[in-house]
Amino acid sequence: MPYDYDVLIVGAGPAGTACALGLAGSGLRVGLLDKARFPRDKVCGDAIPSPALKALTRLNPAWAAELRELTAGHRTDMRTSRLVSPAGTGVSVHWQAPAFNSPRLHFDDALLTLVRRHTATDIHENSPVKTVAADAHGATVQLADGTRLTARLLVGCDGAHSAVARALAPAPLDRTRHCAAVRAYFEEVQDVPATTSDFLFLGRYRAGYCWVFPVGAGRFNVGFGMLSSDVARQKLDLKLVLQELLETHPHLVPRFAQARQLTPIQGFGLPLGGSQRPLTGPRALLCGDAAALIDPLQGHGIDTAVISGLLAAEHAARCCAADAFGPESLAPYAAAVQRRLGRDLARRYRLMRLLARAPWLVEGAFRAAQWPPLRRLLVRAMG
C-alpha cells in the first residue's frame, strides 16, 4: 500500500527533532507533527544537560554550534550547582562539561529550526492527534482536523501523555515512578550568580527538591517537584508548597524578598526512568517522556530525550531498509535504550528511593562532600 511517510514522528520536542535530525540524509520520507505552533512553551525545569549537547555534537558538530548561536540571548551557561541539605549544609559542585539553561520556548524552537534548515522533513504544526492505529499493513494517525496520515513506522515523541503510547504501547500510571512538579518564572532574584543553579533538599519532602535556575535575560525558573505517590499520600497542593517555601525557607526568603513573579505557577508530570515500561508497540517506537526516561535522581530528561530520539532514528532506518516492522525487528531499539540509558536510570531510581527513606544518608553525603576528593565522587555520581 502507498504511505504518506516512511517514518512519521509524533511530537516536535527534543526527542522528535533529534529523531528527524538523525534521519537527515537517509533518503526516507519523514514527517514530523506537533499539536502546537512553534515557538511554544513547555513547562519544565529548562536544564539542558551536557549529554544532550554531546549527542548532538557527535551527530554533527556544526549543528551543535548552530544551536548555541540560535539560543544566544536565551540561555545561560552553567558552571556551578549549589546544593543545600535539609539541615542547611551547603555544597558547591563545579562542572567541566558544557551545559546550559534555556527556556523551552526558545530551545525547542531552535531545535525545530535545525530540522527546517538541514533536513527534508515535512513539518506539521498545529496538528493535534485524534486517533492512532496500526496493523500489519501500516500505521495511521488521524488529526483533529480530519487529516489522515499513514506511515510504515511511527515514532512517539509526544510527551508524558503520549497519544502514540496510549494507543499502541499502553502502561498503567505508577505513582511511585512518577514525579509531579510546578514552576514559575521570576526576576530580581538575589544572590544567584548567572552561571549557578541552586538545588534545595527538604526534610519534610524527602523524595524531591526545590530549584532556582537562571535562564538568561535576568530571569529565573523556580520550581519544586516530588514523587507523585508522596504528593497523593500527603494530599499536597504543590503550588501552595512552592509559595510557602519562597516565603519561609531560610535560604530562599532573602533571595526572593524583592523578586517579581512573571508567570503563574504551572504544573507538569515527569515519568521516571528505570521502569519496565514498554518502549515499542505495533509499528511504533517510543522516545523521551513518552518512553518514561526522566532521570529519577535529578529530574531532567532533555538529554535522554535527545539520545533516545537519535537511537530511534538509527533503528527506524534499519527497519525501513529491511522492510521489517514486526516485534522482533523493533526489539533491538528497546535493547539499545536499555543498554544506553535504562540500566543507569534504574540505578538512579534505587538511589533516590534509598535517600528518601534514609535522610541521615543525605546529611552524611553532604558532610562528606565538604572534602574535595569525595566531592569529585559526588560530581561523577550526579553526572
What are the extents of the domains in the chain?
5-76+99-173+272-355, 176-270+358-382
Q: What is d(CA 379, CA 383) in angstroms, rounded to the nearest whole number? A: 6
Question: 198: which 3 cell numbers?
Answer: 541552586
- Mean pLDDT over 323-349 rounds to 97
Residue range 176-270+358-382 in CATH 3.30.9.10? yes
Q: What is d(CA 93, CA 329) in angstroms, rounded to the nearest whole number? A: 43
Residue 70 has a pLDDT of 97
Residue 374 has a pLDDT of 60
Residue 138 has a pLDDT of 97
Confidence of residue 373 (pLDDT cuts 50, 70, 90): low
CA atoms lying within 13 Å on the CB side of residue 90: 8
Q: What percent of the chain has pLDDT over 90?
A: 81
pLDDT in tens, 218-253: 999 999 999 999 999 999 999 999 999 999 999 999
Residue range 5-76+99-173+272-355 in CATH 2.60.120.620? no
Region of poorest pLDDT, from 208-222, 289-303, 331-345, 366-380: 366-380
pLDDT in tens, 114-151: 999 999 999 999 999 999 999 999 999 999 999 999 99
Residue 1 has a pLDDT of 66
pLDDT in tens, 181-211: 999 999 999 988 889 999 999 988 988 899 9
| C-alpha distance from residue 350 to each of 177, 207, 315, 366 (Å) | 11, 12, 29, 19
Question: 247: which 3 cell numbers?
Answer: 516565603
Residue 318: partners with Cβ closer than 8 Å, 6 or more residues away: 329, 332
| C-alpha distance from residue 239 to each of 75, 218, 275 (Å) | 25, 23, 28
Q: Chain-wide mean pLDDT for the chain?
A: 94
Closest listed residue to residue 189, CA positions, set 218, 162, 149 = 218
Residues 80-98 as b or e (16 or more Cβ within 10 Å = b):
ebbbbbbeebebebebeeb
Closest listed residue to residue 333, CA positions, set 288, 290, 287 = 287
Residue 305 has a pLDDT of 98
- Mean pLDDT over 294-302 rounds to 93
Confidence of residue 378 (pLDDT cuts 50, 70, 90): low
Angle of helix 50-59 relative to helix 14-22, nearest 10 degrees, comes to: 20
- Mean pLDDT over 54-72 rounds to 97
Q: What is d(CA 358, CA 127) in angstroms, rounded to the nearest whole number? A: 46
At residue 281, φ and ψ (nearest 5 deg) are -150, -175
CA atoms lying within 13 Å on the CB side of residue 308: 34
Confidence of residue 355 (pLDDT cuts 50, 70, 90): confident
